[in-house]
Amino acid sequence: MAASKLPAAAFTLKQFLQRQKVIGLYRNMLRTIRDVPDDADRQYLRDWARGEFKRNKNATSQDAIRMMITQANMHLEELKKSLALAKS
């Protein structure tokens, strides 16, 4: 029987999809933060987002990752609402 060509640390399909979701969420958050008008607030939010994602990058529990995705989505929606109110 031939050996698998996949590296030992290859992701499962579920892990791969979840990773793509996290990366998309991170990019979306950074794009949204670009719209913050104040330079200091924008820098603070960018540092906060980067720090949170870095701090949790080694999480492996699927449930914990799902919970963090939900929390990040809530933060993102709250930021979008705040920006929309500020533009009004």
The mean pLDDT of 47-64, rounded to a whole number, is 93
Confidence of residue 4 (pLDDT cuts 50, 70, 90): low
Judged on CB neighbours under 10 Å (0-12, 13-18, 19+), 69 is middle
In a domain, 83, yes or no: no
pLDDT at 5 over 80: no
Domain residue limits at 21: 14-54
Long-range contacts of 32-36 (CB under 8 A, 24+ apart): 32/76, 32/79, 32/80, 32/83, 33/79, 35/83, 36/83
Cα dihedral angle (47, 51, 52, 53), rounded to 10 degrees?
Answer: 110
The total number of structural domains that make up the chain: 1
Evaluate if residue 78 carries a pLDDT over 60: yes
pLDDT in tens, 13-55: 998 999 999 999 999 999 999 999 999 999 999 999 999 999 9
Q: Please determine, for residue 1, whether its predicted confidence score (pLDDT) is greater than 60.
A: no
- The answer as to whether 38 is a domain residue is yes
Domain annotation covers residue 2: no
pTM exceeding the 0.85 threshold for the entire prediction? no
Predicted pLDDT of residue 25: 97
